[in-house]
């Protein structure tokens, strides 16, 4: 890190400071924070999932406590109230923490508790996207998209900013988590695969049957991963 203003030493103007801890914004800061919170949680009897780096679980004689970690946002749930309260107390001793009580908002998703279960929606986030796109006053549509629309290059108006467009599309992709009925319309304006990556086969398939078996293998891998993840969370899959 460059020397801060007022701390320059004569003859050492080009010297830099060696940090003793990570600062916010540095590329190594996320890893340093994750190592810190991971050590803390495992020290307090929580086991990290073998299938994902975010979920942690504590199980003891029918009691279970789950912690989902997203950077510095922790979601704590379970059927062991005493253990949950104890963990919250330990977290407050180690970190500057705010307890927001029962979950109402998490990762731009709203949660409402009902007698029949938990209702999830993204109304506030959708309203924010509409304002960002300048469409807050537009009329609603009964279908996700016009069935007769044909997209084409627009040469008459100023070119749309690519960064803004990609930001809006990314927000719409997030909306499909609670509104899967909009997935087709979002994929049409996104024009990319749903999966974040693709790869070629290591060998050339000699027949369509062999290619299908290889594709089935990739799907089976995902199923095994999901089964292991549910097992770590205490959910039995039959």
> What are the structural domain ranges in the chain?
29-101, 102-138+161-196
Q: How far apart are CA 78 and CA 57, in angstroms?
A: 9
pLDDT for residue 117 is more than 60: yes
pLDDT of amino acid 198? 67
Picking from 38, 37, 44, the residue whose alpha carbon sits closest to that of residue 97 is 37
pLDDT (0 to 100) of residue 4:
81
Residue 195 has a pLDDT of 54
pLDDT the model gives residue 65: 92
In sign, the C-alpha dihedral spanning 180, 182, 185, 189 is negative
What architecture does CATH give domain 29-101? 2-Layer Sandwich (3.30)
Instruction: Among 19-23, 70-74, 188-192, name the most confident range.
Output: 70-74
State yes or no: pLDDT of 197 exceeds 90.
Answer: no
User: CB–CB of 189/175 below 8 Å?
Assistant: no
Confidence of residue 94 (pLDDT cuts 50, 70, 90): very high
Residue 51 has pLDDT above 80, yes or no: yes
Q: Can you tell me the distance from the alpha carbon of 102 to that of 114, in angstroms, rounded to the nearest whole number?
A: 13
Q: SS in 3 state form for the chain?
A: CECCCCCCCCCCCCCECCCCCCCCCCCCHHHHHHHHHHHHHHHCCCEECCCCCCEEEEEECCEEEEEEEECCEEEEEECCHHHHHHHHHHHHHHCCCCCCCCCCEECCEEEEEECCEEEEECHHHHHHHHHHCCCCCCCCCCCCCCCCCCCCCCCCCCCCCHHHHHHHHHHHHHHCCCCHHHHHHHHHHHCCCCCCCCCCCCCCCCCHHHHHHHHHHHHHHHHHHHHHHHHHCCCCCC
| Mutual angle of helices 183-190 and 162-175, in 10-degree steps | 160
């Amino acid at each position: 890190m460059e020397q801060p203003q007022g701390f320059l030493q004569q003859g050492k103007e080009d010297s830099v400071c060696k940090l003793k801890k990570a600062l916010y914004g540095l590329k190594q800061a996320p890893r340093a924070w994750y190592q810190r919170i991971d050590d803390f949680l495992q020290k307090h009897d929580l086991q990290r999932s073998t299938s994902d780096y975010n979920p942690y679980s504590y199980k003891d004689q029918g009691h279970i406590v789950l912690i989902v970690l997203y950077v510095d946002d922790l979601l704590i749930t379970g059927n062991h109230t005493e253990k949950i309260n104890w963990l919250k107390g330990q977290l407050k001793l180690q970190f500057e923490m705010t307890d927001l009580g029962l979950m109402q908002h998490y990762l731009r998703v709203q949660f409402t508790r009902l007698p029949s279960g938990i209702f999830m929606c993204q109304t506030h986030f959708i309203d924010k996207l509409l304002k960002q796109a300048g469409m807050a006053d537009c009329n609603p549509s009964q279908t996700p998209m016009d069935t007769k629309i044909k997209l084409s290059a627009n040469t008459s108006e100023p070119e749309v900013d690519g960064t803004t467009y990609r930001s809006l599309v990314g927000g719409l992709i997030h909306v499909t988590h609670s509104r899967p009925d909009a997935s087709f319309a979002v994929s049409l304006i996104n024009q990319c695969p749903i999966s974040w990556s693709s790869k070629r086969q290591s060998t050339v398939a000699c027949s369509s049957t062999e290619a299908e078996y290889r594709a089935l293998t990739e799907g089976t891998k995902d199923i095994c991963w999901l089964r292991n993840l549910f097992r770590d969370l205490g959910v039995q899959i039959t």
